[in-house]
């Protein structure tokens, strides 16, 4: 896209990922990968439940949140149902419903060539994007660096994350 002189291009984005559900993680991965594709630097800082996407034992099994997700009607067309059909929250609590919704979502994403979480993190890392884990959240959830997938660049404190994000043209996003 052309950049008029009065518009400063985005040079770098730092995305803080604090949610650990499949639907909480993917937007951040897509935005980070998309940034790299546009020649924009990207770093991801996983904190709190976002660490679910970095822990080796959990990252291949992330689920769509079906409880307390008032917008689940959006997924109804995947079942051939109208987008306006509400999804009763109580149903989301039934065992297997979250797994089923996750299965549906994964299938749709594969069709669009959206990779699974592990492959997506590898893709972002290969593209020069940086992947960081929050030290405080690691301590809280009793995680060690060796519990995380191998593409994690570093475990950072909040201060180090801000240092890493320094520079004019950096945008920090919180998800």
Partner 1 sequence: MKKTIAGTEVDVNEEGYLTDASQWNEAIAAAIATEEGIGALTDAHMKVVRYLREQQAKGAALTIRSMGKSGVVTTKELYDLFPGGPLKKSSKIAGIPKPVGCI
Stretch that binds partner 1, among 15-23, 46-54, 121-129, 145-153 (CB under 8 A): 121-129
Q: How many CB atoms are closer than 10 A to CB 167?
A: 10
Which of 27, 92, 103, 115 forms a contact with partner 1 (CB under 8 A)? 115
Which of 15, 20, 22, 33 forms a contact with partner 1 (CB under 8 A)? 33
User: Looking at beta carbons only, is 108 or 139 nearer to partner 1?
Assistant: 108
Does the footprint of partner 1 cover residue 78 (CB under 8 A)? no
Does the footprint of partner 1 cover residue 167 (CB under 8 A)? no
Q: Is residue 64 within 8 Å of residue 22, measured between CB atoms?
A: yes
Does the footprint of partner 1 cover residue 34 (CB under 8 A)? yes
CA quadruple 164, 160, 171, 146: dihedral, nearest 10:
80
The two structure tokens encoding residue 16: 């803080």
The Cα–Cα gap between 99 and 51 comes to 20
Rounded to 10 deg, the angle between the 97-111 and 22-37 helix axes is: 20
The Cα–Cα gap between 18 and 22 comes to 12
Hey, is 49 helix, strand or coil? helix
Which of 8, 84, 88, 113 forms a contact with partner 1 (CB under 8 A)? 113
Which of 3, 6, 8, 39 forms a contact with partner 1 (CB under 8 A)? 39
- The site for partner 1 (CB under 8 A) is made up of 1-2, 30, 33-34, 36-39, 112-115, 119, 123, 126-128
């Amino acid at each position: 896209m052309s950049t008029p002189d009065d518009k400063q291009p985005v040079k770098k984005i730092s995305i803080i990922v604090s949610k650990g559900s499949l639907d909480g993680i993917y937007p951040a991965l897509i935005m980070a990968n998309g940034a790299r594709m546009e020649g924009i630097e990207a770093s991801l800082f996983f904190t709190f439940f976002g660490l679910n996407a970095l822990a080796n034992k959990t990252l291949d099994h992330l689920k769509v949140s079906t409880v307390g997700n008032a917008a689940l009607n959006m997924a109804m067309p995947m079942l051939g149902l109208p987008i306006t059909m509400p999804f009763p929250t109580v149903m989301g609590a039934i065992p297997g419903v979250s797994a089923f919704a996750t299965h549906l979502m994964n299938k749709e994403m594969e069709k669009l060539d959206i990779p699974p979480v592990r492959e997506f993190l590898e893709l972002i890392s290969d593209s020069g994007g940086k992947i960081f884990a929050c030290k405080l959240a690691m301590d809280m959830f009793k995680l060690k660096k060796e519990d995380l997938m191998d593409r994690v660049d570093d475990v950072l404190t909040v201060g180090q994350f801000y240092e890493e994000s320094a520079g004019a043209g950096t945008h920090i996003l919180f998800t």
